Amino acid sequence: LGLAYISTAAYQHGHDVQIFDPNTTANPYEELESRIISFSPDIIGISLRNIDNQYRIAPCYYYKHFQYLLGKIRETTPNTKIIVGGAGFSMFANKIMERNPSIDFGIYLEGEESLPELLDNLDKPESVRGIYIRTEGKVLFTGFRPLPDFKKLSIPKRDILNITPYLNHMESIGIQTRRGCPLKCTYCNYPQLNGNVLRIRAVKDVCDEIEYLVRQYHIKQFMFADGVFNAPLRHSEEICEEIIKRGLKVKWSAWMELKHIPKHFLLLAIKAGCTSITFSPDAVSQSALNALQKELNEKDVKDSLKLFTGNKDFGDLNVTYSIFVNPPGETFTGILKTILFYLKAKLFLRGRGGPFLNWIRLEPETKAFQYALKKGIIKKHIDLLPDDESDLKNMFYSNPSLRLFDFLIIGMLKFLPMIKKLFSNGRSGYQ
């Protein structure tokens, strides 16, 4: 989605653009080389959305793949300018520029305005705000620029790339209804990356994009790629009402906030095509909810589970909860409540969602990171962008007084799939 927005902006400024997604091919590096040779671009842009998968049990370091990709591009076309952007890049922009001298320019934060401006001013990049450049062998940031007016951005062009590989996966086609986040969750850097004020698209523009994808590409499913879809609630209701009014038969999923889920809205969302919701209460106990600065209480979390397990009106709606293990403010009692909630949700939502557990991946400029430093949970000079993938395990928050329980939950998460597989195999004979 990010590449589609950026490519559309460049295209509208008169540039010839192609998109290559290495995730959609079996031989990404071979195909990349072939595409570079055939297209012979003046500029190659790379989007680094995530640094890693943020999963403590089975970490995957995307940054290392990114560095390998850089090397392959330089091998293929030594003199082509390389521009890097994306949320992952923006989190560590200066470090990434300094550690990867093959990058010529970096786009900081949202690039729909700064990238076209840079492309028009490659001979004087220092005049463009919001980018990283190299001058006299040093990395220089040209200064902050306001975030784009999201309402004025064009619907992203999808014909720049082959959309076919994305059609069978709900999470592969995204639509944004808003950018920015006013919430104050202590572990999250979305407010730094997208601003702490909501920038909301008009309902008509959102539904025009959905209709365009349904009519033009016959998509059957998509996801709302918002941090939180249902706040403000009335805007989300109007989108659902408009989808129904236009007769758009399409399934969709969204991340939602637990505070804004009245029954009438859930029924409206289901009627509009919603088949899957993910909530991020992040904790179950009140002490942890408070420490994470969630605008929730323990009762909100428990009542939501009762709502979805005791109401036939919601049919087969898939409901998922994101819960952190051992976050700031957690207690022994809180750990037990978390385990109990996990098991209850697994039981009552079996076959249609349930909770997933993870640990907080510490990120720069977040309160959780500062708290971890203050409490000595991590070393003072820790590098959150490590050179060695094995160091990723040190990037997660864990309450030191309760670390023993980490092993219990890690064991539970590792063995439950094995037990499930064993029983599944047992139906048709052991293997």
Q: What is the pLDDT of residue 429?
A: 34
Q: What is the pLDDT of residue 427?
A: 42
Q: Please report the pLDDT score of residue 406 as a whole number.
A: 82
- Name the most confidently modeled range: 56-60, 183-187, 379-383: 183-187
The predicted pLDDT at position 351 comes to 83
- pLDDT at 422 > cutoff 70: no
Position 312 scores a pLDDT of: 84
Give the list of residues 6+ apart from residue 329 with CB closer than 8 angstroms, or none: 283, 285, 287, 288, 289, 290, 291, 292
pLDDT by residue (tens digit) across 304-333?
999 998 778 898 899 999 999 999 999 999
How far apart, in whole angstroms, are the C-alpha atoms of residue 249 and residue 246? 9
Selected residue with higher pLDDT from 260 and 389: 389
Q: In the prediction, which pLDDT does 425 show?
A: 54
pLDDT tens by residue, 207-247: 999 999 999 999 999 999 999 999 999 999 999 999 999 99
Per-residue pLDDT reduced to its tens digit, 284-309: 999 999 999 999 999 999 999 999 98
Domains of the chain plus CATH, in order, are 2-141 (3.40.50.280), 150-426 (3.80.30.20)
For 218-256, where are the alpha helices, taking DSSP H only? 233-245
What pLDDT was estimated at residue 413?
78
pLDDT higher than threshold 80 for residue 431: no
- pLDDT tops 70 at residue 256: yes
Instruction: Between 407 and 267, name the one with better pLDDT.
Output: 267
Q: Give me the helix-helix angle, 28-39 and 62-76, nearest 10°.
A: 40
- Measured CA distances, 45 to 18, 84, 172, 420 (Å): 10, 6, 20, 43
CA distance 143 to 114: 12
More confident residue, 350 or 251: 251
Asked if residue 340 has pLDDT above 90, the reply is: yes
What backbone torsions phi and psi does residue 169 show, to the nearest 5 degrees? Answer: -130, 120
Which tokens hold the place of 413? 């998460």
State residue 374's pLDDT score.
Answer: 92
As given in the structure block, the two tokens for residue 57 are 């049990």
pLDDT band at 411 (very low <50, low <70, confident <90, very high): confident
pLDDT of residue 38: 97
Mean pLDDT across 112-134? 98
Task: Give pLDDT, residue 424.
Answer: 56
Q: What SS3 class is residue 61?
A: coil
Residue 260 DSSP code = G
Q: CB-based contacts of 324: which residues, under 8 Å, 6+ apart?
A: 187, 282, 283, 288, 292, 357, 358, 359, 360, 397
